[in-house]
């Protein structure tokens, strides 16, 4: 849902599977004892009443995010209660939490210039077949953008630097895929991009 009162007691049904987005947000931003300062999450809310809405969590400046689904749902609910900003403009709700109008194409235009990886189980693997784990962690510091979809196909994405990549042939839940990507990046595994 892109506007309205978020039903905190029915995140999996009445909120349009908001539970899936919350788990993905938690997997992308949270470590065992903190936040990933080098990570930004943009949720695209395209369903329900109202025009498309984007909610951005910026790990570098985010404050007050708690590792609990209902708490994060409440944070998203604050954004849904606000009037929708115009397309292309981000309005701050609290430190590190912003919202704006627009869809995935709006976000991709903002991210132009960095490689964008769309995770797709039918695509080429994200890492080389003969890749090994480095003996010492050496985080990959390259700016990369990863896109995950829900159970709906993304459709045609208009971006010149787009790479379809796979984490394997099994379709994974989004939060699991995010965990694998973070592991590969944290360890410095050479990616095929």
- Domains, in order of start, for the chain: 1-103 (3.40.1280.10), 111-193 (no CATH)
**Alpha-carbon torsion, ordered 166, 171, 176, 178, to 10 deg:** 30
Which strands make up the sheet holding 162-165, listed edge to edge? 145-147, 116-119, 162-165
Segments of the chain scoring below 50 in pLDDT: none
pLDDT in tens, 137-178: 877 667 888 998 765 556 667 667 788 898 988 888 899 999
pLDDT of residue 54: 95
What pLDDT shows up at residue 141? 67
Q: What is the pLDDT of residue 23?
A: 92
The whole-model pTM stands at 0.88
Give the model's pLDDT for residue 20.
87
For tokens 């931003």, name the residue. Answer: 29
Q: And the tokens for 48?
A: 């329900």
pLDDT at 138: 76
**CA atoms 101, 20, 154, 124: torsion sign:** positive
Torsion sign over Cα 155, 5, 64, 174:
negative
Q: How far apart are CA 39 and CA 11, in angstroms?
A: 24
- In 3D space, the residue among 65, 1, 6, 73 whose CA is nearest the CA of residue 34 turns out to be 65
Report the distance separating Cα 5 and Cα 165, nearest Å.
36
Q: Where are the beta strands (DSSP E) in the chain?
A: 30-31, 34-35, 40-45, 53-58, 91-94, 97-101, 116-119, 145-147, 162-165
């Amino acid at each position: 849902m892109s506007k309205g009162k978020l039903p905190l007691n029915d995140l999996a049904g009445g909120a349009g599977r908001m539970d899936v987005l919350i788990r993905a947000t938690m997997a992308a931003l949270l470590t065992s004892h903190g936040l990933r300062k080098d990570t930004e999450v943009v949720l695209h809310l395209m369903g329900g009443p109202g025009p498309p809405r984007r909610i951005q969590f910026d790990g570098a400046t985010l404050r007050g995010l708690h590792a609990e689904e209902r708490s994060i749902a409440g944070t998203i609910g604050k954004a849904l209660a606000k009037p929708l900003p115009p397309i292309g403009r981000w309005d701050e709700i609290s430190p590190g939490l912003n919202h704006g109008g627009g869809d995935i194409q709006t976000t991709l235009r903002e991210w132009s210039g960095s490689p964008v990886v769309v995770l797709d189980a039918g695509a080429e693997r994200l890492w080389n077949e003969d890749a090994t784990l480095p003996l010492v962690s050496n985080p990959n510091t390259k700016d990369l953008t990863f896109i995950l979809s829900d159970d709906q196909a993304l459709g045609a994405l208009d971006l010149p630097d787009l790479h379809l990549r796979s984490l394997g042939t099994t379709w994974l839940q989004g939060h699991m895929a995010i965990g694998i990507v973070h592991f590969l990046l944290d360890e410095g595994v050479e990616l095929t991009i």
